[in-house]
Structure 1
Amino acid sequence: MNYSFISIKRQSIMGIGMLLVLAYHYMLHYGVYHSPLIIRGDIGVDLFLIASGLGCFYSLSSKTIKDYFKARLKRIYPTFILLTILFIFLDGIILDSHLSVNQWLLKISGLSYFISGDLSTWYISAILVLYLFSPLLFAFVENLYLLYGLLFIVYLFPCVAALCDISYLNIFIFRMISFILGAVIAYNILRKKEINIVVLLVSLIIWGGVMACGYINIVDYPRNQIRYVFYPLIAFGLIYGIKYIKSDRILGFMGKYSLEIYLIHQPVFRYLSFIENKFYFVALTLIVTCSFAMLVKIIINKLYDWTASGKI
């Protein structure tokens, strides 16, 4: 199977992932619309991670480790820190919600999910850790036996997390599979070698299903997390469907600004939650979120330009 279209459609993959995450949060917090796809819109995170795994493998193949980390942090941290500080202040002013100094530092570090279980920007925490370990993770991709061993071991972690009462980490642990899957796709494209991804996915489903039976037998295991076992297969199916979308301008837009939209949309939802009409709420929050996302990206790019020219 030719996977090169995935690298071409990477921005659209991020875009459909962002749309699904938006739909999921609208449904989860405001009951805007009820359907199986929207209820499971958190599969958009798996699309993010497949695209990120692919992009990171590409980057590591052409850059030094130092340049790789520099590029990854440059993409995430300036935008993340700017918006985190802004929304901490706005939460205090608009919602009368105030954080301690320790909470401030945890938020700004991007590691609040791992340390305190904060789910508000858990994806940022997760992707930063995956960036850190990606050179090691991708070394496993080069060896098929090590790859299968790594993927199977990942499915053991949720059992440990459940027994240690840290099951909130499972939304990250399960998603490591999708990140590694993205790297496998990039490996196939760049090395022109064939790791049969369909066989890989079926193997994961079988092993994941076996482990799911084990999860069910663990006392107080959060059963709704078992769905994550099947997300990589579903996400890959969605990605394959994108191949046949001829006009993807909207998906491209959402993908281009996916980081900014991800960081902005939930605070905007909170600030405008007084709007009772669901249509107006969705329309206005989308307009505000997308407009602000474009503005933030312009500001960050200007700061980069000024820094490069020595004006800052």
Structure 2
Amino acid sequence: MAKRSLALQLDEVVQAMLVSLQPRSEKEPNRELASLQRVAQELRDLPREQFRAALKSDLQRRASMSESTAAAKTGMGEAQARAIHYLRPGLTSITPYIIVRGAAQFIEFLKSSFEATERMRVPTPDGKIMHAEVAIGNGAIEVSDGSEAYPAAPQAIHLYVDDPDAAYARTLQGGATSFYAPTDDHPSGDRWGAVKDPFGNHWYIAKPRGWTPGPEGLRSVQPYLHLREADKMIPFLEAAFGAEAMGVHKSPEGIVHHATIRIGNATLEIDEAHGEFQPMPCHLHIYVPDTDAVYAQALRAGASSIDAPRNAPYSDRAAGVKDAWGNSWFMATYLGQ
């Protein structure tokens, strides 16, 4: 028989005491359980309501102390321990949220071009898509149909794949137009091609050969922002979201040719808008340890409010801000089910 956890054993002891005021004996006493059991025994002669309240209060206090001790032993503070759980399962700290006209057709394009997998779809009463989640490689994209409140907003995505030539060819078959075919001459050292899909999104399709960004390995899906005065975006992201600039390449005049920015366990890329690659104000969904604190930071950094922090019906503490470049940042902390 599998050994019962300390939590389960303690639950059984407390349940027994609340019924009979007699602790349940253990064949193999646990030292931690015995300590908590002695506390309950010391309180057993109190009136029943007082017993319940005192027992609950003391056990909660001791449980909190035990958790803090365990965190300290692993070198992890209480805030870090809480932070482990702030991400919604299946998503990273940064997920592009693409709003298009014809979301269902867009999802089919993602499937045929990039071997994407649809993980979730929430339809509207009229058959459109209110929200969908699509996995590509080890990343994800969130999708919805445009509305009056949130019109279509295409964006640029740097997509890492195993075979950029094959993916590039499939996008053309799906109706995309080419910026340039995959080449080994890209400054990054990666094999890299670029297309514009029928919905207006840019896809920079690459296979990594050089530097790999990100604290936990390369993410397949990297939002890419083309900006005017891109150099000012870096301090904004640092102040608003605690971002870290992992690689910044500038001209002698200070123009950002490329920068990789880390937020949490994911990265995005930025550069100065140029040529065909002009600003595309977009929507980004970011998971943070404390939505209220990050929302306040973003406002202090110069963002304007879209939505104040609130508990959303999908188990997130959520808020939204808009930066000076017109991008919307929808931040969230996953509260669990």
Give the alignment's TM-score, normalised by structure 2. Answer: 0.27
More strand by share: 2
Q: Which has the larger radius of gyration?
A: 2
